Structure 1
Amino acid sequence: MGGPANGFQSLPPGLGSLAAGGPPPASNSTSAAAAASVAARSAALEAATASAEASTTAAPPSYSEHYRRANTPFYHSPDASSGNGSPSSSASTSSSSSGPSLSHVSNGSGPSSPAPSPGSDAAEVSAALARAQAALERAETSLDDIQRLSSSIDAAALASLARATAPPTRWQKLLSLARSLIILGSLAVAMLATHAFGLGVQWAGAAAGAALIAGWGLRSGSLAPSGAAAAFVVGCGTLGASLRMGATLVAFFLSSSKLTAYKHEMKEGLEENAKKGGQRTWVQVLCNGLVPTILAVAYGILAGCVDLPLGPPAASATAAAALEPWRAAWLTALMGGFLGYYACCCGDTWASELGPLSADTPRLITTLRPVRRGTNGGVTLLGLSASIMGGMFVGLVFYLAGERAPAGYAVWKGGAESRGEARAWAADLGRPGAEGMFVRMVFYLAGLASPTLWIFKSQRALAVEQWRLIPLGLVAGLVGSALDSLLGATVQFTGFDPKTQRIVGRPGPGVVHIAGKPWLDNNAVNALSASLTAVLTAYVALKSFGF
């Protein structure tokens, strides 16, 4: 019979789920969309209720109701009330057989309620249908609001995505470059300043700088959480022991992180271990940083955490006059080993990140046969060039940072000539008036920018003698990258998985062997090649600087 189900069936297509309490067709996560969805659901339920009322009102009467209505004129006619004739008998007979409704009339308790007229039934049906129509209109309006809101949100999301994926304009590139230069300049000034006011400030600045670098690496995705913790330990020990060693570490980390993220989408499909942003774990950080950190701490113990030039004491009668020959030799070897280690790491990293982007087919370093991109031991001309540039970059940073040690170094560790120049500058700094102000400004600015090259004559002479660090870093980068490729082609497994279409570093079902034995993984190969390069560079440094 006519019930609420008929009311739900009277809804237009698409509103059935709303009336039944289901989710709206165009729901959205925003508060406005949720409010519109609730309004649409309420309107649909109201429409269903009104339609159900209309269906109930318009439903046909039952048989007993129809019989009572059909016999009402007979029971209330004058002949029936007088009790004469056969109608009375008929009424009695009917009363005994028609149930409670007819016995109520024959007992004389008064006439029954008059039947509703057809006009009142039609009015009720019309009113119910009008309420249902109004509810349906409200539901349609709410659904239109939801669709408009969803369309506007989609349009805003597409516009934001287009802005994010659009190539940067020239001004955006210039602003990004300027921001990077400002950050690097501020970092350099801070490092110089912390190394000019004693060991307490120096180590406090080292801890703060290491925390900032580790936090930046974690936030940018260059470091995993474990890698950030390891980077803090490595950075604090290196920055506190030596300015030039800390600057070399920071330069290697920043440049390698940028190159790892460069065109990562193209490199991601080559190797199975490629990660978004090149996140480094504690194992990778310690493989690249544990050995040089030990070298830096040992150097700091022997040198008093002050940067000294490479070479024997006889090479200079000023800054290194108080050093014992054995101490000078050990300091030279430690600095040479540190330089060689990071030159190898930087050269190998630059080659690994830029080499796969070459248009040339890589060739295995042992047999020169063509191999797939990403194969351990595969070399290209672009990769070899990148390793040379990476090593030279480390040598340049190591040279510049070491020869720009704070001006206090020449006074604390320098000879008579440096102390005499310092006293002359002190006299000039005391001049009154504008001339003295100008001299003080030049002194302090020069002390931050390049104290050893601009202020003290003896330090300028030592700086010229240390230029050999740049080609030493270049050679170390090339040799270290070649050693890494040689080890990768022989003692590190390289295979190709046809299922994933990627280079894999371990044997497995269906993996096609390309080169190498499964004896060492990539981290062990990096640590071994860098350590060998450090030993070779330390020996070359001793011979190059007069030992």
Structure 2
Amino acid sequence: MTAEEIIGETVRLLPSSVGVGVVEPMRWLNATLLPILVAWWGLRRRSISFSGAVCGLFVGFLLTLGSYAFFVNLLVFFVMSSKATKFKGSYKRKFEKDFKEGGERNWVQVVCNGGVASLMSWLYIIDCGCGEQPINLLYNYRCSWLSLAVLGALSCCNGDTWASELGTVLTSSQPFLITSLRPVPRGTNGGVTVIGLVMSFLGGMVVGVGHYLALLLLVSNSVMLSSPPQWHIIIVGALGGLLGSLIDSLLGATLQFSGMDADGKIVERDGAGVVWINGSHLLDNHAVNLISSLLTAILLPQLALLVM
């Protein structure tokens, strides 16, 4: 398929499995305005930089155009992760060298956290059209797979954020490295705690709750009654958060550098006075987030077959 054909397919939005071929003007309008409002809110609260806000407009547009449920997933992740990042910031500053007040996200972080979900939403638009559909892996596999992939990508990001931002400050127990189980300092890449894993599960769950509520509000009762029970989405979202956090920790423990500087703070770059803790210089935090999001997006629909 040529580039012209791909663009034409996206514009025409002729779905293969949905009987709607025309996008309503209101959806185009909402897909434009809603991301602007969210970006404005994020800029005011210093949760996102200007470059991150501009990039977020494209991410938000693709997700909102595909399905309002996808937009809710994004909104839940952005709001909840921003609050988690700011929680007990003064305490995190004590052991995180690169701690940034307010957790302002730039365009690189937006791409690495929202890029996979945007890609899956774009594929959803091409294959399924624009609109909210209940998950039905038996009779509507492709559209359900792509919907769960979006959920997986964003529940992974939120679950990992909750694990790292809340799990580190809500427990007094020392983290252990996920690969060897040896104790490591707080903030070490690949270090996990029981509370952190619970937080990742809950972080994914709230994204699943958002998706479930969006379907209840936006999909007709007749369609919902003829579909499998949708509350399982909440469980699937929770599993996405836990799975994504585990993948992130495995990558962080092996392929991402962690060291301690002379001030006793965790750093991700080697240098004078830095003592190696674990990992290597193959990946940085952004790459780990991107790969974790992609793997969770691919694996979660298969995992959902066991639940739904």
Q: What TM-score does the superposition give when structure 2 sets the normalisation length? A: 0.88
- The CA deviation at 1:300 is 2.1
1:366-394 CA-to-partner distances (Å, cap 9, x unmatched) read 11111111001111122111001011111
Structure with the larger RCO, 1 or 2 (CA within 8 Å, 6+ apart)? 2
Cα separation, 2, equivalents of 1:250 and 1:479: 21
Contact 1:309 1:462 in 2 (8 A): no
CA RMSD, 1 decimal: 1.8
CA distance in 2, matches of 1:346, 1:459: 29
Q: Does structure 1 residue 239 correspond to structure 2 residue 64?
A: yes
- Number of positions where the alignment pairs a residue of Structure 1 with one of Structure 2: 286
CA distance in 1, matches of 2:163, 2:237: 15
Match of 1:487 among 251, 258, 261: 251
* Distance (whole Å) between structure 2 residues aligned to residue 230 and residue 524 of structure 1: 17
Q: Is residue 311–residue 542 contact of structure 1 (8 Å, CA) maintained in 2?
A: no
Residue type at the aligned position of 2:50: P
Partner of 1:375: 188
Q: Which residue of 2 aligns with 1:228?
A: 53
Amino acid at match of 1:525: V
> 1:102-181, aligned counterparts within 5 Å?
none
Is 1:529 equivalent to 2:292 in the alignment? yes
Q: Hey, what's the Cα distance between the residues in 2 that align with 1:488 and 1:459?
A: 43
Give structure 1 stretches of 5+ with no counterpart: 1-196, 315-327, 407-451
Q: Distance in 1 between matches of 2:305 and 2:25?
A: 32
- Per the TM alignment, residue 462 of structure 1 is displaced from its structure 2 partner at its CA by 4.2
| Cα separation, 2, equivalents of 1:288 and 1:235 | 12
Deviation at 1:544, TM superposition (A): 5.3
> Secondary structure, in 3 states, of the residue corresponding to 1:404?
helix
Q: Is 2:271 the partner of 1:516? A: no
Match of residue 393 from structure 1: 206
In the alignment, the residues of structure 1 paired with residue 82 and residue 214 of structure 2 have an alpha-carbon distance, to the nearest angstrom, of: 21
User: Pairwise mapping of residues 48-447 of structure 1 onto structure 2 (< 5 A)?
Assistant: 199-311=24-136, 314=139, 328-357=140-169, 358-405=171-218
Is the Cα–Cα contact under 8 Å of residues 333 and 541 in structure 1 kept in the other structure? no
Distance in 1 separating the partners of 2:136 and 2:123: 17
Paired residue secondary structure (2:277): strand
Equivalent positions of 1:461-472 (< 5 A) are: 461-462=225-226, 465-472=229-236
Distance (whole Å) between structure 1 residues aligned to residue 186 and residue 37 of structure 2: 36
Q: Deviations over 1:445-488 (max 9, x none)?
A: xxxxxxx4xxx3x2442466222211111112111111111111
Structure 2: gaps spanning 5 or more residues: 1-21
**Contact 2:137–2:305, Cα closer than 8 Å, also in 1:** no
Q: CA shift at 1:226, angstroms?
A: 0.8
Matched residue of 2:225: which SS? helix
How far off is 1:251 after superposition? 0.7
Give the secondary structure class of the aligned counterpart of 1:277.
helix
Q: Find the residue that maps to 2:241 and give its secondary structure.
A: helix
Moved over 3 A (4+): 541-545
Structure 1 residue 356: deviation in Å? 1.6
Q: Share of identical aligned residues, percent? A: 44
1:303 Cα deviation after fit = 2.5
Distance of 1:228 and 1:268 partners within structure 2: 25
Question: Contact conserved, 2:156 with 2:293, CA < 8 A, in 1?
Answer: yes
Give the alignment's TM-score, normalised by structure 1: 0.50
The structure that is helix-richer by fraction is 1
Q: Distance in 2 between matches of 1:259 and 1:389?
A: 12
Specify the alignment match of 1:139 in structure 2.
none
User: Structure 2 CA distance, aligned partners of 1:305 and 1:313?
Assistant: 20
Cα drift, residue 232 of structure 1: 1.2
Q: CA deviation at 1:543?
A: 6.2
> Is the Cα–Cα contact under 8 Å of residues 236 and 307 in structure 2 kept in the other structure?
no
Contact 1:392 1:470 in 2 (8 A): yes
Paired residues of 2:259 and 2:269 also in contact (CA < 8 A) = yes
Structure of greater Rg: 1
1:126-182 CA-to-partner distances (Å, cap 9, x unmatched) read: xxxxxxxxxxxxxxxxxxxxxxxxxxxxxxxxxxxxxxxxxxxxxxxxxxxxxxxxx
CA distances 1:496-541 after superposition (whole Å, capped 9, x unpaired): 001x331100111110000101110001011111211111112234
